[in-house]
Structure 1
Amino acid sequence: MKGSESASTAKDTSRRAVVRAAVATTGTIAGLAALGTTPGVAATGAAAAGRRSPERGPRIGILLHDGYSLLDPTGPAEILSRLPGATATMLAERRGPVRTDTRDVAVVAARSIDEIDQLDVLVVPGAGERGTREAMGNPVLLDWIRRIDRHTRWTTSVCTGSLVLAAAGLLRGREATTYWASKDFLAPFGATYVPRRYVHSGKFITGAGVSAGQDMALHLAQQIAGDTVAQAIQPAVEYDPEPPFDTGSPDKADPELQQLALRLPADSQK
């Protein structure tokens, strides 16, 4: 009996159980109900029981382009993939591994962009200077982003991914954010930089640098599934930042630290 109780306790405290319990408690989720008539978005019934709904949940595509920063796609993927019934798929120009800015790590793209013609959510990650510049100048990627954006419920970015959206012509006349050292590059595309962790403008949600993608993803989770599910996902992934230093934004770092902050990523990409 004692062993069974221990096993049951372990099961009940699993990460999935936390989210399932929260969804089941709500009964219905206002955000998903509001999206019920949108193609690709499911009601909560089966998902609340911890199963995929017979109808699709939100279809989330995360675009990998050469030289992206590792946390930019994987942080939002960790959060958004926990939405009830959601599918989160890594995409690239070609299927297979796509290397990060340091070239030390690769994430596998399960689908090529030629295989995807409609998504509910598009996430465009940022990259180092090389990766961002190449993505902004890649007509194949930009054309695909524009085509996908015509049907998305949400088009989002992390870090310098907003520059890629801007280069595609999607942020003209909108407020947006990006990596702090790249803020001046939004204006030539008609976007207004706002120094916040994420900026919500219409169906566009842009996240600031790297780790801010997780804040952006939690906000997006709230928009899709409501407060309760989004709040439950946060402890499910134990996102409760308590860094040892308070220098996480340029406003909190002196000029010498800012220069080092720029040099360290650049050196790691050589």
Structure 2
Amino acid sequence: MPFRIGFLLYPHLTQLDLTGPAQVLAAMSDSALHFVWKSLEPVPSDAGISLLPSDTLQSCPDLDMLLVPGGPGQQALMRDGAVLAWLQRQGAQASWVTSVCSGSLLLGAAGLLKGYSAACHWAYRDYLPAFGARIDERRVVVDRNRITGGGVTSGIDLALWLVALVRGEEEAKAIQLQLEYAPQPPFNCGRPELAGAALTAQARQRLAADLKRLNGV
């Protein structure tokens, strides 16, 4: 039986939180990817790219790995009983429970991070203790069978870690090479401690504006 990987879709998720790790995990040997939402209708992302579910919350099989992306639409799901119940059920039986960006807050809301160290996007990581999790500022955090990534691009790193744990380091290396994943960003400002106070404040303002636009404020 293939290694079943489930990605939660929802309106206004950050598409790279999902598509980055999906690109890696689709190349993993003997794997099957499931993209899950309440219906099979296209789901709009925060980038204007719609994603097509393959399964509903009801039809999705038991998963070996659960991945929850983040994004501005995440806040609306924090009290969504159907979604939280699905996360609780899948998280209780999956071998690996993972998230990218603010997706860790959804795992927390479902009670899946109590007593675990976890990562989150730098702008939202301070909310983790409210769900019984310990803040870890590393880009990817592995705590037992919980793997959580920081901001958006960390999902690629997280997926490579997962491949190494499930299929071995050599396969993970081969996939990294296949994707030519050798990042060389033009600016060294991808974390607040590198960017400085002024740029970090500007980024916070942009994030807040995105939420207001989404909520029609």
Tell me which interval the TM-score lies in, with the shorter structure as reference length.
over 0.9
In the TM superposition, what whole-angstrom CA distance separates every residue of 1:160-203 from its partner, at most 9, and x where no partner exists? 00000000011111100100010111011110000001111111
Q: 2:145 aligns with which of 203, 217, 220?
A: 203
In the TM superposition, what whole-angstrom CA distance separates every residue of 1:4-53 from its partner, at most 9, and x where no partner exists? xxxxxxxxxxxxxxxxxxxxxxxxxxxxxxxxxxxxxxxxxxxxxxxxxx
**Amino acid of the structure 2 residue aligned with 1:206:** T
CA RMSD of superposed structures (Å): 1.2
Identity over aligned residues, as a percent? 37
- Counting matched residue pairs gives 212
Distance 1:57 1:239 in 2: 25
Give the aligned partner of residue 93 of structure 1.
Answer: 38
Distance 1:142 1:208 in 2: 21
1:113-152 to 2 correspondences below 5 Å: 113-128=57-72, 131-152=73-94
**Amino acid of the structure 1 residue aligned with 2:107:** L
Does 1:187 pair with 2:132? Answer: no
SS of 2:184's equivalent in the other structure is coil
Give the aligned partner of residue 40 of structure 1.
Answer: none
Rate the CA distance shift 1:73–1:194 in 2: closer, same or farther, 3 A: same
**Amino acid of the structure 2 residue aligned with 1:58:** F
Contact 2:34 2:60 in 1 (8 A): no
In the TM superposition, what whole-angstrom CA distance separates every residue of 1:91-116 from its partner, at most 9, and x where no partner exists? 111112111124x2211111111101
Unaligned 5+ segments in structure 1 are: 1-55
Q: 1:178 aligns with which of 115, 120, 127?
A: 120
Give the aligned partner of residue 233 of structure 1.
Answer: 175
Does 1:257 pair with 2:199? Answer: yes
Distance 1:96 1:112 in 2: 10
Runs of 4+ with deviation above 4 angstroms: none
CA offset at residue 159 of structure 1?
0.3
The higher radius of gyration belongs to 1
Give the aligned partner of residue 55 of structure 2.
Answer: 111
Contact 1:123 1:156 in 2 (8 A): yes
Unaligned 5+ segments in structure 2 are: none
Contact 1:117 1:148 in 2 (8 A): no
Distance 1:159 1:232 in 2: 25
Contact 1:96 1:110 in 2 (8 A): no
User: Could you tell me the TM-score, scaled by structure 2's length?
Assistant: 0.94
Distance 2:207 2:46 in 1: 9
Contact 1:80 1:86 in 2 (8 A): yes
CA offset at residue 263 of structure 1?
2.6
Distance 2:21 2:204 in 1: 23
Contact 1:64 1:92 in 2 (8 A): yes
SS of 2:112's equivalent in the other structure is coil
